[in-house]
Amino acid sequence: MKEDITVSELRGIPPENVMIIDIRDEAAFALGHIDNAVNISPERLSETQLPRDRDIVVCCRSGVISEDIAESLREQGYSAANLTGGYVRWLGEKIALQSSSDRAAEIERSITRKFHRSIFSKFAKALNEYELLKPGDRVAVCISGGKDSMLMAKLFQEIKRHRKFDFELVFLVMDPGYSSENRAIIEANAKLMGIPITVFETDIFNSVYNVQNNPCYLCARMRRGHLYNKARELGCNKIALGHHFDDVIETILMSVIYGGQVETMMPKLHSANFPGMQLIRPMYFIREDEIKHWARYNDLQFIQCACRFTDTCTTCNPDGAARSKRQVIKQLIARLSEENPQVVMNIFRSVENIKLNKIISYKLDGEVHSFLDGYKD
């Protein structure tokens, strides 16, 4: 087998003649992978018995890390090749092959039928309960290209189809410097799902590339600012982000454990830097597992992280030495939920049922209030 193999060449090889090893982390593999691939991390490869009578194709996100792994396997006597372009290129070609108006209709039907209770009703509940959408609104539905924001776009389309009042939607995609493959996948998925996106470009990735401390945090702040600015330019008064229920729960615990304060991800808030603009989170009640279920049911695959530097960035690897705090919290919640399935809802209710007379102190508009203020001896 030659050192590099293309996606087209891989499709022409009978599955029984090749072993496809996907070296990405488990979370990325679970969200989507090449048919018949097996997930083996680079660390576990050395202790895994691999077949010597079959060709081996090594795949990572975009063919960067896998190139070195394939070379190492060849030095050990295996017939191994690197998949050029990696999973991203394979996914792009798969989406292109299945695009049709029938697929878009199937995806829409799944939302109103199979996932009506677990997804659509919860989306509508958040809109109503938190008054996220009002007559005359022009909402910039911000799409990153992941499963959450793509589903949010479809849900907004469905709500508008059954609207009780007039509002407008702009499906906004900001390109902070995506690789051409990532950009192509986002555009292909939007076309497949019937989402008319508006794309604008920035150079955020280049701006944060050499930042040593918290580049991901800085990148997120800059992206938020660019989204607000473009949305306002397009006449929008709100931007919608695809944060879901699990994001809310994780944020509550992160604020307590790492921030030393009780704080949550709000369903809506006014922008501090863009007067008259609001941010809304209409996926507030939707569980992440249901979003994953919807994607699998419709055979939809999205990029977990569209950062240009993911293949060489350990902060994006949940199993690496520099695991993010959110990943630690996610795993903690999973362990606690094994013992008590009500843990997640209890965490959420804790920020709905705060008893101020049982709090030592709290802040309101920057002013500290103590229980001693009204305490009488």
> Which active-site residues does the annotation give?
60
Burial class (CB in 10 A: 0-12, 13-18, 19+), 343: middle
Starting at the earlier edge strand, list the strands of the sheet with 4-5.
Answer: 4-5, 80-83, 55-59, 18-22, 38-39
Cα torsion angle, 236, 237, 238, 239, sign? positive
CA dist 178 → 56, 133, 222 (Å) = 29, 31, 15
Strands (E), the chain: 4-5, 18-22, 38-39, 55-59, 80-83, 138-142, 168-175, 197-201, 238-240, 268-270, 278-280, 361-364, 367-370
End-to-end CA distance of the chain: 85
Distance CA 321, CA 330 (A): 16
**DSSP secondary structure code for residue 177 in this structure:** S
Strand 268-270: give its sheet, edge to edge: 197-201, 168-175, 138-142, 238-240, 278-280, 268-270
DSSP state of 273: S
